[in-house]
Structure 1
Amino acid sequence: MTSKPPTTTPERAARTITDRLEPKNWIILVTLLMGWHADKLAGIGWGLFAALFTGVIPVLFIKFGERHGYWGDKHVRRRQDRLYVIPGIMASVAVGLVLMYTLGAPSEITALIVAMFASLIVVLAITTAWKVSFHTAVPSGAIATLALAYGPWMLLLCPLVPVIGWSRVKLQDHTLAQVIVGAILGAAVGGGVFALLR
């Protein structure tokens, strides 16, 4: 299933927001910033390592499936397809997490990745019956963890979450309820697990 090209200015704006602020970009941002917070330049290296398994490899996996017709596009719009995609992402995250523990990554980075994995478990459970929004879950979780690490000024990023939610609803990829639940889930699970483990 491929998306129809946007025909109006609001639809074009929604497509740009959806593509530019997609989960992969938030994941790379939060892993690098958390790496810096954990151990400055050495931490950036750990952040890049974490980003490989939580952002880059999952995107390559999704692109592989898209190219071979297993699902329609990089946003994996059909709920049923996500039941295959999410476990694939979880496998990559789990491998990265084991390697980080084995190699002695800073606890703040491993706590972040455990929080991501926990969020994936909850999203997968919900996805068996309902399509929750990754596009709002990931940034809300990223903002929550960054606020815990860097301080409440990171909450200034919060308005981006409803903007992303609007884009998903405008493109008819999610309902309003799905983007709201995604945002709550990301902050509660991702932020909550990170707060417990860091």
Structure 2
Amino acid sequence: MTEQAPGVTRTSTRIAQAVTEVLQPAVWAAAMPVVVAVVAARTVPAGIGWGALAALFTAVVPFGAILYAKHTGRVTDHHLSRREQRRGVLLVGVASVAAGLVLFVVLGAPRPLIAVIAVMLVVLAGTTAVNQVWKMSAHTAVSAGACTVLALLVGPAPAVGVAAVGVLVVALIGWSRVHLGAHTVAQVVAGAVTGALLAAGCYPAVV
């Protein structure tokens, strides 16, 4: 078997680390509400306002809980590499997203925004449930769910292109997680399939 040169290995590892950080779940959770709200709201400023408020519940509070847990030694790192450390902070995330969903329904937010928050809730809840017994990838679950929502949001004609790009993005994220030894191939594939299926079922039902 041909061995990779050390320089090649170091480069691929740096790329994998960059992909893992830049396309981590918190980034998707912050960006998706803003994107969907801007598309769905009557004006861009209104969309940015709705999206920023949603991101508080979907990204800022959940990721803040992870950073606090890391600071206090409850978790090893912000990617929650150890499965047994995931339950508490993931439950905080579920509670935060659920609270945001209720608030946005009461406030009469744009329906697509409510739908994307609902998708985040079911994907996060599903990932949390599976991670009680098996370390399924949250990175691929969240990214696949987000890409599925984007494909549904843009309509039938451009959906094929969006879906194709989404598959490539999720595959890249999955590769990064496997390359870094954070997950097995089965765990990243299971995450992607779970996220996509939950989003495909939830988003049309709510919107």
TM-score, length of structure 2 as denominator length: 0.89
Q: Please list the CA deviations of residues 95-124 of structure 1 after superposition, one character each: whole Å capped at 9, or x if unmatched.
A: 111211121111111111111111122112
Aligned equivalent of 1:37, options 30, 36, 39 = 39
2:121 is the alignment partner of 1:112: no
- Where 2:136 maps in the other structure, the secondary structure is coil
Percent sequence identity over matched residues? 41
**RMSD (CA atoms):** 1.3
Distance in 2, matches of 1:145 and 1:70, equals 33
Q: Please list the CA deviations of residues 110-153 of structure 1 after superposition, one character each: whole Å capped at 9, or x if unmatched.
A: 11111111112211221111011011111110010111111303
User: Which residue of the partner structure matches residue 5 of structure 2?
Assistant: none
Which stretches in structure 1 are left out of the alignment for 5+ residues? 1-6
User: Which residue of the partner structure matches residue 168 of structure 2?
Assistant: 159
Distance in 1, matches of 2:146 and 2:96, equals 19
Distance in 2, matches of 1:189 and 1:157, equals 16
Distance in 2, matches of 1:191 and 1:27, equals 17
User: Which residue of the partner structure matches residue 91 of structure 2?
Assistant: 87
Which stretches in structure 2 are left out of the alignment for 5+ residues? 1-8
Q: Please list the CA deviations of residues 8-60 of structure 1 after superposition, one character each: whole Å capped at 9, or x if unmatched.
A: 22111111110111111112221111101211421221111111110111111
Aligned equivalent of 2:186, options 151, 157, 177 = 177
- Where 1:112 maps in the other structure, the secondary structure is helix
Distance in 1, matches of 2:191 and 2:56, equals 23
User: Which residue of the partner structure matches residue 11 of structure 1?
Assistant: 13
Distance in 2, matches of 1:158 and 1:28, equals 20
Shift, 1:191, TM fit:
2.5
Q: Please list the CA deviations of residues 168-192 of structure 1 after superposition, one character each: whole Å capped at 9, or x if unmatched.
A: 0011000000000000111100221
2:201 is the alignment partner of 1:187: no
Query: Does the CA-based 8 Å contact 1:145-1:194 persist in structure 2?
Result: yes
> For this pair of structures, how many residues does the alignment match?
192
Shift, 1:154, TM fit:
2.0
User: Which residue of the partner structure matches residue 3 of structure 1?
Assistant: none
Q: Please tell me whether Structure 1 or Structure 2 has the larger radius of gyration of its CA atoms.
A: 2
2:96 is the alignment partner of 1:96: no
Query: Does the CA-based 8 Å contact 1:37-1:150 persist in structure 2?
Result: no
Distance in 1, matches of 2:40 and 2:71, equals 37
Shift, 1:161, TM fit:
0.6
Distance in 2, matches of 1:147 and 1:24, equals 20
User: Which residue of the partner structure matches residue 60 of structure 1?
Assistant: 64
Aligned equivalent of 2:54, options 50, 56, 71 = 50
Distance in 2, matches of 1:59 and 1:103, equals 24
Distance in 1, matches of 2:144 and 2:169, equals 9
Shift, 1:78, TM fit:
0.8
Q: Where in structure 1 do 4 or more consecutive aligned residues deviate above 6 Å?
A: none
2:79 is the alignment partner of 1:75: yes
